């Protein structure tokens, strides 16, 4: 295992996820649930599945695209979704 990549990924994901809408949704679900452990397990399962899909797609994309291009595409999609949310389209 490459610990440098592990800690870089962990740090990036941990900091990016702090205070995002997923965390707020989990907070609300745990507050109204009688079983917070169900919220924890479901959140871990859902995020694990999303992460697995993302990593598999990244492995496929790297065969066809330069990693630098993937970064620009991801940034453009992020900005595009933000603009759509700002305009009330999403």
pLDDT tens digits, 26-85: 989 999 988 899 999 999 999 999 999 999 998 898 888 888 888 898 899 989 988 998
- Confidence category of residue 3, pLDDT binned at 50, 70, 90: very high
Cα gap 35→51, rounded to integer Å: 25
Spacing of C-alpha 57 from chain mean position:
13
Domain containing residue 27: 3-86
Q: How many domains does the chain have?
A: 1
Give the 3-state secondary structure of residue 22. helix
Q: Is 78 exposed, middle or buried (0-12, 13-18, 19+ CB in 10 A)?
A: exposed
Q: What is the pTM of this model?
A: 0.65
């Amino acid at each position: 295992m490459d610990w440098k990549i592990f800690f870089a990924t962990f740090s990036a994901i941990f900091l990016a996820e702090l205070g995002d809408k997923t965390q707020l949704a989990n907070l609300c679900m745990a507050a109204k649930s009688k079983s917070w452990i169900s919220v924890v397990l479901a959140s871990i399962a859902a995020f694990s599945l999303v992460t697995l899909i993302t990593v598999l797609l990244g492995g496929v994309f790297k065969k066809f695209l330069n990693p630098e291009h993937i970064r620009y595409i991801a940034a453009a999609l992020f900005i595009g979704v933000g603009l759509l949310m700002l305009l009330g389209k999403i």
